[in-house]
Amino acid sequence: MPTLPIPSAISMQGKRVLVTGAASGIGKATAIVLAELGAELVLCDLSAMDATRDEVQSRGATCATAQGDLTDGAFMASLFAGERLHAVAHCAGILMGRPWNEDANWNARFHRMMDVNVRVPLELAFAATEHMAAHGGGHIVLVGSVAGKTGGTSLSTPPDYSASKGAVHALVKWMSRNAVGRGVMVNAVAPGPVQTAMTRNSNMGPTLPLGRMGQPEELAWPIAFLCSSAASYMSGAILDVNGGAFVG
């Protein structure tokens, strides 16, 4: 039986990690946590990432940025054309808050949601698997949602968002079946309501078990764990990080 290196603490020293959605929210917090753990980072977002880059570099981490649209296949392919990536934390996604049945552009909105929240993580995870398998393995972490398990934390949760995140959970299981035998571990976190720009108008905090919404850093640490060798025997898991909002 092989002897496996079991870390005494989570470390990302010597590991290169791609973080998408890095300009803000969970992606930004994840990049900062990974920097604190010693990772070399590639930050990706549609928006400018100057603030995240500065925070990462202030922690002594090496950092590159790739600004672009992940729905563009050529841009996505470019992310895996360089040196080895040991992990990918895909935190990018969208939530359209306007009530779906009042949205005159519902059809276009639905397809946009599925494009960004379902097609992109599938193609990203597939490209990452091919890249990592050729370099000895790695870790892929996607971001689902408690809404993908429960249909939403409130009556205002849009059905297209819930459906897209349920699809992410299914994709994690499918990708794991196809990747784990090649040394690539595929997992996800399923956040409850988190205090980000997406949820800035939410007042559900007092109704939650802890009496508050989560903070991005409270998702970043579990994501970092799943990016690390501490999760060397985990694949196909959807890790609930919701402050007790859903137990099942």
Distance CA 221, CA 82 (A): 27
Residue pair 65/43 in contact by the 8 Å Cβ criterion:
yes
- Residue whose pair of structure tokens reads 């949820």 in the numeric block: 199
Active site residue 233: no
> E-strand spans in the chain?
16-20, 40-45, 63-67, 87-90, 138-143, 184-191, 238-241
Buried b (16+ CB within 10 A) or exposed e, 135-159: eebbbbbbbbbbbbbbebbeeebbe
Name the β-bridge partners of 20: 44, 90
43 phi and psi angles, rounded to 5 deg: -95, 135
Which of 161, 165, 171, 186 does the annotation list as catalytic? Answer: 161
Annotated catalytic residues are 161
